[in-house]
Chain A
Amino acid sequence: QKEVEQDPGPLSVPEGAIVSLNCTYSNSAFQYFMWYRQYSRKGPELLMYTYSSGNKEDGRFTAQVDKSSKYISLFIRDSQPSDSATYLCAMSGRGSTLGRLYFGRGTQLTVWP
């Protein structure tokens, strides 16, 4: 079992829809949670970054972390065709996991006009 599980999709939604992307994890040492966005033939770029549990909002994007359930989510409001990309969750923690990121496989999202 991978330490981070993410449904690869693909996910296809109409413009303006609310998108929900999710990951689960098994390592309770994880404390830092990230979402990366990867456009085709490009490297992943950091989208959202949160520490421990709670919500964080940045424009149309909201990241949620529920450490008790080992579950993280990314919500995209008013989705746009330019949001079409692969979204990867990533996480890291202290101790032996310090310094490295553990990635989900990524969810491929298409937003059609």
Chain B
Amino acid sequence: DAGVIQSPRHEVTEMGQEVTLRCKPISGHNSLFWYRQTMMRGLELLIYFNNNVPIDDSGMPEDRFSAKMPNASFSTLKIQPSEPRDSAVYFCASALRTEVWDRRQPQHFGDGTRLSIL
């Protein structure tokens, strides 16, 4: 089975440029999560969607960050303009969310996009 697919795996760009990260969740999953991981702060939730609708975007650092999920099989995280402090590994995860705990499926992660802003 295909897992969560993220692209690109690596991105190096100059400060001020627009960056777009892409994610394809596992087929059939109805929740999608974007995380950022750094040595200093660990894994931080940026935003998550349920049935393509943003549920909680309180982790989005500032207006330079935006995320969309136009359909159940695709999501993007965009940074415009990018800054050096945005350098991190960005993960996408998906899950099948149910209300019955014993059928609850935990989150499955992609291998991340390593972003470097020069």
List residues of B whose CB falls within 8 A of some A CB. Answer: 4, 31, 33, 41-43, 45, 48, 50, 55-56, 91, 93, 97, 101-102, 104, 106-112, 114
Residues in chain A near residue B31, CB distance under 8 A: 99
> Which of chain A's residues has its CB closest to B95's CB?
A99
- Interchain CB contact under 8 A, B102 and A103: no
Decide if the interface of chain B is mainly helix, strand, loop or mixed. strand
- Interchain CB contact under 8 A, B111 and A43: yes
Q: What are 7 A-B contacts defined by CB distance under 8 Å?
A: A41-B112, A43-B4, A43-B91, A45-B109, A100-B56, A101-B33, A101-B106
> Which of chain A's residues has its CB closest to B97's CB?
A99
List residues of A whose CB falls within 8 A of some B CB. Answer: 31-32, 34, 36, 41-46, 49, 51, 88, 99-101, 103-106
A95 to B56, CA, bound (A): 13
A42 to B9, CA, bound (A): 10
Contact of B107 among A31, A101, A104, A105 (CB under 8 A): A101
Q: A44-B43, A103-B43 are in contact. Are A51 and B111 (CB under 8 A)?
A: no
- Interchain CB contact under 8 A, B101 and A32: yes
Contact of A32 among B56, B104, B114 (CB under 8 A): B104
A101 to B97, CA, bound (A): 12
- Interchain CB contact under 8 A, B42 and A41: no
* A97 CB, min distance to chain B CBs, angstroms: 10
- Interchain CB contact under 8 A, A43 and B43: no
- Interchain CB contact under 8 A, A49 and B106: yes
A32 to B106, CA, bound (A): 10
Contact of B108 among A41, A46, A51 (CB under 8 A): A46
A45 to B109, CA, bound (A): 7
